[in-house]
Structures are given as structure tokens and as C-alpha cells.
A and B are shown apart, each in its own frame.
Chain A
Amino acid sequence: MNLRALQESFRDWLVHESPALAARLGAGAKPGLAVYLNTYRGQLIDCLAQTYTVLHAWLGDAAFEAAAATHVDRVPPGSWTLDAYGLGFPDTLGLLYADDPEVTELACLERALAEAFTGPDCAVVDTAALGAIEWDQARLALVPTFTLLPATTNAAAIWTAVSGDASPPPAATLEVPTQIAVWRLDFTPRFRTLELAEAQALELVADGMSFGALCALLAGRHGDDAGAARAGAWLGQWLQDGIIARVHQGSDAPS
């Protein structure tokens, strides 16, 4: 057996417990092969448990371990980094908990927070330097860790309660589906559940809409004064949150 065939046979032992490698190596190798199998599965399950601590607490040990074992059976790891292994776990949870969408949404929130934790560093805009900005032409560049997650349940409230050692609320469906913003400020991942209109505005801003165009859009919906007030309030909140990396003007606009 050449080296490639051996490595593929070893992979098949770890992923499917295919007996070919054990048969080839003989009975004496069985205890050693069992060590490799236990290490492989244990490491992947530990990785999921470390990434999804709140979900683990929400589901309980038995349900979480069963879901993790299903994921290990379903999705062999492909990346050089173990951090990537948990990225597909919400998909497995979606299959296992199709009638409990808060489970998948809770997992998606934890995944986004974990990704933000090690995402690119980025300073936020210096609010003291914003006095000279011509806001009509300004475009906002968001921090690279910023992302929006769809939210149809109270998964965010569950996360907050569980991570704060408080009693979590029962799972519930939101009256109006919305989005959760996730980002990192300094070294701490953060999130905030948005009103749907603010989430839509942030999507437009992220796509390059100028602040003036956003104001015009809101003025068309709510009238000049109310539209401008709403845009100004959101801008103040975004600056306070620390999700704006830069404010570009005119030819300085991001591509």
C-alpha cells in the first residue's frame, strides 16, 4: 500500500470506522487505532463545546453531545484550523431542530461572536474629527467584523440570560422578524438586536449608499424632519456602538 492509499484508508477509519485499515494492520493494531479514533472524535466534540458554550447550557449535556456527535458523523473537518470546524454546526442543528428555530439562531449568534473575536483589527472613526464632514456625500465604512444575522426568535435574549447566569426566557417567536448586528469593539464581541428599519438601513450603508441618500430615503418615508431625525439618531447610535471604521467623502469614497 502506498502512502496516499494508507492515508486515505486511515481517513476512512476515522470518519466511517471503515474496517479496511484495521484488517490490514492486524489485530495487534486495534487498541492503537481505537486511541486515534477516540482522539479524533473527542477533539471535534470538544471544539464544538468550546465554541457553543451558551447553546450547550441551553440544550443540556445529553442533547448537546448527541447533536455534536451527529455533526461529527455528518461533517468531517476540512480546514487546517480547528476554529473552522464549528462553522457548519448550525446547519446540523437546523436539521435536528427544525421545529425549534431558536436553537439554530442561538448557534448562529455564538458562531458570529466567535468569528468576531478573532476577526481583523480595526480602529473606529474618531468622532472628534467628524465636525468638518459634508454628510450629504459621506459614505460610511463599517468595521470588518460587522455582520447581520436574521432573527425570528428570542435567541438573543436567551444568549444574554444564559451567559449572565440568569434564568433564560422560554423560547419564543418574534412578532416581527428582524436582524441582529454583531461586531467587535476593542477586543470584545458585541451584538444588538435591531429594528427592522435600522437593519435595512445598515444593509444599504454596507452596500455603499451615501448618508445623504439614506436621509433622502427616510425623508420620503417619514417626511423631511422625521427622516433626518431618524437618520441622525441611527448615526449617533452607530458611532456609539463602534461599528463605523471610517467616513469617506467625495473622491475619498470606498469602492
Chain B
Amino acid sequence: MKPSFGLGLRKPHYGDFLETAVPVDFVEVISENFMVAGGRPRDILRRVRERHPVALHGVSMSMGSVDGLDPQYLRRLQQLVGEIQPLFVSDHLCWTRTGGFSAHDLLPLPYTPEALEVVCRNVIQAQDALGRTLLVENPSSYISFAESVLSEWEFLDALCARTGCALLLDINNIFVSATNNGFDPQAYLAGVPAARVHQIHLAGHTQGRERLIDTHDRPVPPAVWRLYESAIRRFGPVPTMIERDDDIPPLPELLSELDLARAVTAGIAREALPSSQLQGRVA
């Protein structure tokens, strides 16, 4: 897979992306922010799309809902996908909606055969409607369920096998969930199907009173960088982006952070080269 590096497109940087040549290979937007009838948001997205490939990242598909997918949501997403022709379409392994209630948060699932049935059914419906592979992102979680009979990575592996979906692996979320729920993040990386990892998110978190919180409000911390390095060693180069949603710094700071991701990938690629090729390059 060709290494590529992107950023989440956020309001404070609209001007940068519309008026300057920002050195990224792609941008990612929150799908729901642009699933509107018209106006400035759609215009900005169209104009950014003229300059960069765009990944659509959703938070409200609710692929874990027993009720199934919301047809109106799916129609809006179809329309946006048709217009933007995105690089990736992704959403989270979670549920947000039940019986007319929509939590607007990424709520956890028990990893049971029943939940796997539900998620597979919904992912297949979404992929059929969108006519493309969906990338499923691992969420940060703050609780676990005694009735889970699969680990999260086993659940994702089974989901990929049964639906053909791919994975958006959020390295920070693995770290946060591993810390909160007591599993080994290396076992997670070893357990997900490497060939299905199509995109990676990097972000920062906050230490809450009794849980790590997935806040996306600070730079990627060293522990997440180390886990990212492990991920790239296992998966090879994967399109990677920095996801910052709060306390958003000036764009150059995020670009510097993205350069670190480039350096990690390049460093591992150099290690993989035979020593004769490395010597040739130095010469």
C-alpha cells in the first residue's frame, strides 16, 4: 500500500486548505457535518475536494443498532458519497441509536454472536447501499461486558471475514481501551487482519479520574507513537492521519506531527531494505 498522510479537516483550517497548498495526501471530514441540503459547508467541501482526496468519516451510522440502519441517514450519506467520490467511507464499531433515541455518542457493544449478527447485517446493508467497502473503526471504550465471548480484535476479524469490510484502526483508541479495560494492545495489533487495515487514526487522550478519555485535544502522546510504530511494523505502510477535534492548534503544528508519522513509516521502510540498498542510497 502506498504510504499517504492526511489530516482531519476542521473549521479553523478551512482557509488554509482553500487558499494554500497544504502538504497532505488526503483530508478527512466528519460526514454528518456535510450531510446537509446546501450552503457554505457543502461549498467548502466541494472546493476542498477539488484540491485533495477526501475521506468521509461518520459518527452516526449506528452499525450496532438492533433496530437496523436509519434509511434517511443512509440516503443522505449515499448522496454525499455520490457527490464527493471519497477516498474512504468509515464509521465506528458502536451503536448510537435505539427506539427513536439517538445518543450522539459512540456507545459500546458486547462482543457476542448476537452483536456480530447485528453488525454484519448493518454493515452489509451499508456497503450494498453505498456500493463500496466500508471501513470500520475501533472505538475508545470505558466499560466492558461480562457476556462478551470475543475480544474486540476477534470481533473485528470475524466482521471483516463475513462482510468484506475493512478497518480504520485508531491507534489511540486501542491504547485508551486497553488501559481502561485491561487488555494487551500488542495482542490487539496481532489479532486484527493485517490485510484489512486500510487507514489509521492517531490522536491524543486525557487522563480522567479513573479512566483514560479519548479527547482528541492534545498531541499524540509517546505511548501512542510507540504503538503506531508496532502497527506499521505489522501492517506495513497504511494511510495515516492525525485526528484533532478540540484545542485545535495552528495548521503547522499538526503538519509537524504528521511529519512524525511520515518519519516512523520511512524509518521502518529503511529497516526493511537490504543493507546493500541502504549503502547504495547513502552513497
Contacts and interface: CB of A to CB of B under 8 A. Distances in A.
Contacts of B40: 117, 187
A36 B73 contact: no
Nearest to B112: A3
Given A77-B104, A80-B60, A81-B35, A118 B41 contact: yes
Contacts, number: 111
B184 interface: no
A118 B72 contact: no
Interface residues of A, number: 41
Q: Is the interface of A mostly helix, strand, loop or mixed?
A: helix
Given A3-B114, A120-B37, A78 B143 contact: no
Interface string B7-28: 0000000000000000000000
A119 interface: yes
Interface string A107-119: 0000000001111
A79 B62 CA distance: 12
Contact of A121 (B32, B42, B73, B100): B42
Contacts of B37: 118-121
Q: Interface majority SS on B: helix, strand, loop or mixed?
A: loop
B138 to A, nearest CB: 16
A31 B209 contact: yes
Contacts of A11: 98-99, 101, 103
Interface stretch (A39-47, A125-133, A217-225): A39-47
Contact of B143 (A8, A29, A39, A118): A29
Contact of A77 (B73, B101, B142, B210): B101
Contacts of A76: 101
A232 to B, nearest CB: 31
A8 B66 CA distance: 10
A184 B110 CA distance: 46
Contacts of B210: 31
A103 B175 CA distance: 46
Most buried by B among A4, A44, A80, A85: A80
A44 B38 CA distance: 24
A58 B120 CA distance: 49
Interface in B81-119: 95-105, 107, 109-110, 112, 114-115, 118
Interface in A1-34: 1-4, 6-8, 10-11, 14-15, 25, 29, 31-33
Given A11-B99, A35-B213, A82-B32, A44 B39 contact: no
B262 interface: no
A83 interface: yes
A30 B72 CA distance: 35
B70 A187 contact: no
A25 B213 contact: no
B15 to A, nearest CB: 14
A10 B103 CA distance: 10
Contact of A80 (B43, B72, B112): B72
Interface in B45-85: 60, 62, 64-66, 70, 72-73
Contact of B142 (A15, A36, A122): A36
Contacts of A14: 103, 105
Nearest to A22: B143
Interface in B104-158: 104-105, 107, 109-110, 112, 114-115, 118, 141-143, 145-147
B278 interface: no
B143 A33 contact: yes
Nearest to A1: B147
Given A78-B101, A80-B97, A25 B145 contact: yes
| Best-buried of A4, A8, A81, A116 by chain B (most CB within 10 Å) | A81
B95 A78 contact: no
B250 interface: no
Interface string B189-230: 000000000000000000011110100000000000000000
7 A-B pairs closest in CB distance: A32-B142, A121-B38, A32-B143, A31-B210, A118-B36, A187-B40, A7-B98
21 contacts: A1-B147, A2-B114, A3-B114, A4-B66, A7-B98, A10-B98, A14-B103, A25-B145, A31-B142, A32-B142, A32-B211, A43-B105, A76-B101, A78-B100, A80-B70, A80-B73, A80-B96, A81-B35, A121-B37, A187-B40, A187-B43
Interface of B: 32, 35-43, 60, 62, 64-66, 70, 72-73, 95-105, 107, 109-110, 112, 114-115, 118, 141-143, 145-147, 180, 208-211, 213
Interface of A: 1-4, 6-8, 10-11, 14-15, 25, 29, 31-33, 35-36, 39-40, 43-44, 47, 76-83, 85, 116-122, 184, 187
